[in-house]
Homo-oligomer: A and B are copies of this chain.
Amino acid sequence: MPATAQSPSLVDTVSRRIITLARNHTSDRLPTERDMAARFGVSRSVVREAAKRLELQGLLEIRQGSGMKIVDKLHKPLSSAVHLLVPDEKKRLVQLTEVRLALEPENARHAAERATATELRKLKAAHDRLKNCQDFETQVLADMEFHCLIAEASGNKIGALLMQSLSDLLQTSLSHGYRLVTKDQAVEDHARILDAILLRRADEAATAMKTHLLHARDDLGLKKTLSNR
C-alpha cells in the first residue's frame, strides 16, 4: 500500500495487526490506543497512525472520548475521492447518473441470474419499505437500498462496492436540494425490475433498470448530459 519501502514500516505492521484483532474480536469495540500500544510494544503515535489509516479505509470509526468501533464501509474512500475529484454537485450528479446507467443494468441482469432466495427476500422487503414510506428521507434511503441490494445480489463484490459509494454520494446530493419528484414512478419501475429478477429474466431486468434510471435522470433534470464539458 503506501510507502513502498523495502521493509514494512511499523505503521504497516500495526495496521495489519489491528485488522487481525478486529476480525477476531467479539465486540465491535477495539482496545484503546494506549492498550494497543502496550500490547504491540510500540508508541502510541504508531498505533494512532495505523488506526487513522484504517479509519480512512472505512474499517474503523474513531470518536474522541469514546474509542474505536469496527465497521465495514470499504466504499468510503471512493466516496471521498469522487468528492475531491468533482466538487461541483450538479456535475457530480450528472456523471454519477451516467456511471449508473452503465453499471446498474448489468447489476440487475446478474441479479436475475444469480440471486439467492435470501437475497430475493431482502429485495422484496426493501421494495415494500419503499412502497410504504411517508417522507422524503426515508424514500431516498429505501430507493438506494433497493439498488444496493441488487448490486449485492449480482454476486460481484466490486460492483457492490461501487454501488454503495454511488449510493452514498447520491444521498448527499439528494439531501442538498436535488429532489426526487415522483415516488409513484419509482415504485412502478422498481416493481418491474423486481418482477424480472424474481422470474429470472436477465434481459428484462437489465432493460427495466435502464428505463428506471432514465426516468430518474429526467426527474432530476439531468437530460443534458455533459454537453457543456
**Chain A interface residues toward B at CB < 8 A:** 1-3, 5, 45, 48-49, 52-53, 55-59, 62-64, 74-75, 77-78, 80-86, 92, 95-96, 98-99, 101-103, 105-107, 110, 114, 155-159, 161-162, 226, 229
Contacts and interface: CB of A to CB of B under 8 A. Distances in A.
Contact of A158 (B55, B58, B86, B114): B86
B106 A101 contact: yes
Contact of A95 (B52, B53, B80, B157): B157
Nearest to A82: B158
A81 to B, nearest CB: 5
Contacts of A62: 2-3
Given A49-B52, A114-B226, A81 B85 contact: no
Given A56-B77, A85-B157, 17 more contacts: A2-B56, A2-B62, A3-B63, A49-B49, A53-B56, A56-B57, A77-B78, A78-B78, A82-B161, A86-B158, A98-B156, A98-B159, A99-B103, A99-B162, A102-B103, A102-B107, A102-B159
A74 B84 contact: yes
Contacts of A159: 95, 98-99, 102
14 contacts: A3-B62, A3-B64, A5-B64, A49-B49, A57-B77, A59-B84, A77-B78, A77-B80, A82-B161, A86-B157, A86-B158, A92-B158, A99-B159, A155-B229
Q: Count the copies.
A: 2
A12 B68 CA distance: 19
Contacts of A105: 102
4 A-B pairs with least C-beta separation: A77-B77, A102-B106, A95-B158, A155-B229
Contacts of A107: 102
Contacts of A75: 81
A55 B155 contact: no
Contacts of A84: 57, 59, 74
A162 B162 contact: yes
B86 A81 contact: no
A217 to B, nearest CB: 14
Contacts of A77: 56-57, 77-78, 80-81
